[in-house]
């Protein structure tokens, strides 16, 4: 195992940190990727990732700050509190959001959809039928980068709002159990759109900024009208409040 990624929201107690570092060592993980950037400081005070890094250093446990280049500017913030977008625009720059996203190479999905729509001209939007992608979404089972939540559920990279059992992601998914996931895996957003239209989905007449944006909005509509165990309905509602 190369490293384990964390935003350090939990890293306020030295004993707890050392306990978890020992547990990680026992299962073969010997380094942490500790998130540190303007986006994370909206939720996690800067002192926590820095404190975790310090305990790692003292414990001879490997770590790196991702992305350390933001450390000088974030060091000017109050390290004991979180900072909202308005504060960060005053303290960093008015365009830190788009610059940070570009620096990361972020996919505009989930909470970032409102950012994409804010910065792209309306002329960049296309009708659903034009922007839908027929290629299977291979990112759904990518092993290069993904997340696992506290309940042992696999979260595909970039495809926020989808969760499936980690064991099934590794060993094989039972046919028919995850219809939305399977549609994307076999026929991309074209198949997902076809299925949604048959259920009554009405596309946005203003169009969509990307195939990923279309996918997100379809999945949001689906989980509002039917029960799909792979769709996290709370996530979709919360995501579209972000930066709105």
Per-residue pLDDT at 231: 93
Instruction: Tell me if 114 is assigned to some domain.
Output: no
Q: Are 92 and 17 in the same domain?
A: yes
pLDDT band at 234 (very low <50, low <70, confident <90, very high): confident
Per-residue pLDDT at 82: 96
Q: Residue 203: is its pLDDT beyond 90?
A: yes
Per-residue pLDDT at 131: 94
State percent of the chain over pLDDT 90: 58
Instruction: Tell me if 122 is assigned to some domain.
Output: no
Per-residue pLDDT at 149: 82
Residues 121-139, mean pLDDT to the nearest whole number: 86
Q: Are 159 and 70 in the same domain?
A: no
Q: Which residues contact 128 (CB under 8 A, 6 or more apart)?
A: 193, 203, 204, 207, 208, 214
Instruction: Tell me if 81 is assigned to some domain.
Output: yes
Residues 204-230, mean pLDDT to the nearest whole number: 91
CA distances from 52 to 1, 40, 111 (A): 20, 15, 26
Q: Are 14 and 81 in the same domain?
A: yes
Which of residues 43, 76, 106 is at a domain's end? Answer: 106
Structure tokens, 33: 């990727």
Per-residue pLDDT at 101: 81
**Residue-wise pLDDT tens digits, 205-217:** 989 988 988 999 9
Instruction: Tell me if 121 is assigned to some domain.
Output: no
pLDDT band at 44 (very low <50, low <70, confident <90, very high): very high
pTM over 0.85: no
Q: Residue 119: is its pLDDT beyond 70?
A: yes
Q: Which residues contact 219 (CB under 8 A, 6 or more apart)?
A: 161, 162, 180, 192, 231, 236
Most confidently predicted of 53-62, 153-162, 212-221, 231-240: 53-62
Per-residue pLDDT at 121: 67
CA distance 142 to 226: 27
CA distance 223 to 194: 16
* DSSP single-letter state for residue 105: T
Instruction: Tell me if 115 is assigned to some domain.
Output: no
* Number of compact structural domains in the chain: 2
Where do we find the tokens 């980690």? 166
**Could you tell me which residues are beta bridge partners of residue 154?**
148, 164
Q: Give, rounded to a whole angstrom, the gap between the first and last alpha carbons of the chain.
A: 38
Q: Looking at 52-61, 78-87, 117-126, which range is the least confident one? A: 117-126
- DSSP E strand boundaries for 40-124: 62-66
**Residue-wise pLDDT tens digits, 63-113:** 999 989 999 989 889 999 999 999 999 988 998 888 888 887 766 666 677
Which of residues 73, 106, 139 is at a domain's end? Answer: 106
Range of the domain at 193: 128-239
Q: Are 81 and 184 in the same domain?
A: no
């Amino acid at each position: 195992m190369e490293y384990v990624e964390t935003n350090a929201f939990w890293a306020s107690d030295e004993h707890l940190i050392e306990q978890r570092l020992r547990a990680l060592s026992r299962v073969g993980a010997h380094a942490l990727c500790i998130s540190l950037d303007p986006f994370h400081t909206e939720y996690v005070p800067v002192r926590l990732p820095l404190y975790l890094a310090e305990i790692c250093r003292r414990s001879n446990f490997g770590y790196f700050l991702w992305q350390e280049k933001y450390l000088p500017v974030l060091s000017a913030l109050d390290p004991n509190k979180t900072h909202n977008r308005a504060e960060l625009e005053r303290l960093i720059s008015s365009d830190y959001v788009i610059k940070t996203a570009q620096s990361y190479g972020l996919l505009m999905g989930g909470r970032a959809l409102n950012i994409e729509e804010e910065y792209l001209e309306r002329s960049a939007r296309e009708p659903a039928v034009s922007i839908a992608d027929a290629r299977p979404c291979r990112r759904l089972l990518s092993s290069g980068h993904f997340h696992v939540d506290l309940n042992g559920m696999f979260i595909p990279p970039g495809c926020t709002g989808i969760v499936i059992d980690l064991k099934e992601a590794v060993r094989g998914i039972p046919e028919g159990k995850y219809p939305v996931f399977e549609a994307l895996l076999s026929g991309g957003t074209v198949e997902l759109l076809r299925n949604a239209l048959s259920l009554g989905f009405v596309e946005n007449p203003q169009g969509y900024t990307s195939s990923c944006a279309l996918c997100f909005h379809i999945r949001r509509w689906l989980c509002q009208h039917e029960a799909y165990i792979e769709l996290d309905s709370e996530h979709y509602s919360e995501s579209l409040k972000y930066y709105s």
